[in-house]
Amino acid sequence: MKSLKTTHGKISFSWKKTFWLYLMLVSIFFIDFQKVAALDICLVLILTLLSVGIGHSVGLHRGIIHKSYTSSRLFWNTSLLCFVITGLGSPLSWLKQHYFRDYWQNRKDCPKYFRYQHSLFQDYLWNLHLTFTPKDLGRYNIPTKDLKDKKIAHYNTYW
């Protein structure tokens, strides 16, 4: 972790992220794969499409973070809920981390933590077990509207 040290914030081990990750992975051991039916597989595919496709990719990433399109508040709220259902974490933490990463990756003085100059295994360790807490949140130009949105705040609390 010393090699990840930066003067722009703190990179630290996240017990919460790590616990959540392995809690989700442990559940695999409780599945009786001999009893999985075609209908179960179809349901998993549909829920994956809704949660990861609509919730994460279209809703949170393209819609809320990048503002690639405009939509009704109903779709915005629904896609945000679909993201929460993925179990990938808090929409607010994803929003912040995305802005942090985009800010640094467009600069020559990018800290090692945000670069892509490391192995897939190291990326797994860093992104799923560590967290970056900035010294100055204002530097990242995260829209105040998103930071103070009541629905995002609600899901941040209860995801």
pLDDT digits (tens, 9 = 90+) for 3-47: 688 889 999 999 999 999 999 899 899 999 999 999 999 999 999
Q: Judge whether 17 and 125 are in contact, CB under 8 Å.
A: no
SS3 call for 1: coil
Could you count the other beta carbons within 10 Å of the beta carbon of residue 33? 6
pLDDT digits (tens, 9 = 90+) for 33-44: 999 999 999 999
pLDDT at 2: 66
**DSSP assignments along 81-150, one per residue:** HHHHHHTS--HHHHHHHHHHHHHHHTSTT--GGG-S-S-HHHHHHHHHHEEEEES-GGGG---HHHHT-H
How far apart CA 45 and CA 51 sit, in angstroms, is 10
Tell me what percent of the residues of the chain surpass a pLDDT of 90.
84
CA 57 to chain centre: 11
Confidence of residue 159 (pLDDT cuts 50, 70, 90): confident
pLDDT digits (tens, 9 = 90+) for 116-149: 888 999 999 998 999 999 999 999 999 999 999 9
How far apart CA 137 and CA 50 sit, in angstroms, is 31
pTM across the whole model: 0.86
Average of per-residue pLDDT across 44-51: 95
Average of per-residue pLDDT across 94-117: 92
